[in-house]
Structure 1
Amino acid sequence: MTQPTFDTYEDFWPYYVAMHSKAATRWVHLAGTLTGLAVSTYGLLSGRRRYLLGLPVIGYGTAWPAHFLIEKNNPATFGHPAWSLRGDAQMIRMMLAGRDHELAEIAAKWLAENDGS
């Protein structure tokens, strides 16, 4: 599937969420991002600079396989890297605030309006 193009982040956001339509994909993202953030923070605080790679390596290393294996799609990062990073942060904030059900609704609406593509 070719990724659509967007003029604004606000237009991109529902697409990003739709690419994470399955709860398992979102939760793998959450776990990978928070684990990577913890490892990177440890590296920053301990002076062990190689651990700063924790966020991108662990974050993407868990998220990308989730797309291929659970969601059966390509990560939005491939076509929209900056907006995807922002979307990941927004998605995780919503999940941590107990709003995962809203993400499922946004995804379902976008997929229905775009024939599931």
Structure 2
Amino acid sequence: MTSTTEPRTFASFAEFYPFYLDEHKNRTSRRLHFVGTTVGSVLLLTAILSMNAWFLLAGLVAGYAFAWVGHFFFEKNRPATFKYPFYSFVGDYAMYRDIWRGKIPF
């Protein structure tokens, strides 16, 4: 029997992504993720172009701050980042892409 406190295991990102989307049902939360990913990506690009690591740090803080506000105040759940850091990071960009493509409502 699996305890509800144990993290689920996923064999692949394709298996994880439906779970990730289920954790992002709230439209405001998705919008906050979208803004955070946009700001974080711009700051990452700025870090690369300027060769200034402070922009990288600022990008990580900004990206996660927007996302975590979405989870704690709108989704009322814990971010998947805490249990699935890599898949969650990839999931955020996959959701970002799907919002741009119109597959997920903004």
TM range (shorter): 0.7 to 0.9
- The structure 2 residue matched to 1:98, chosen from 86, 99, 102, is 102
**1:59 maps to amino acid:** G
Shift of 1:23: 1.2
Bigger proportion of residues as helix: 1
> Which consecutive unaligned segments of at least 5 residues does structure 2 have?
none
| 1:36-75 equivalent positions in 2, closer than 5 A | 36-75=40-79
Aligned residues: 102
Which residue of 1 is the match for residue 80 of structure 2?
76
Length-normalised TM-score, structure 2? 0.85
RMSD between aligned residues: 1.8
Given the two structures, how large is their TM-score scaled by the length of structure 1? 0.78
Q: Which ranges in structure 1 are unaligned for 5 or more consecutive residues?
A: 104-117
Query: Aligned residue for 2:93?
Result: 89
For the Cα contact (< 8 Å) 1:77–1:85, is it kept in 2? yes
Does the Cα contact within 8 Å between 1:25 and 1:71 map onto a contact in 2?
yes
Give the match's secondary structure for 1:50: helix
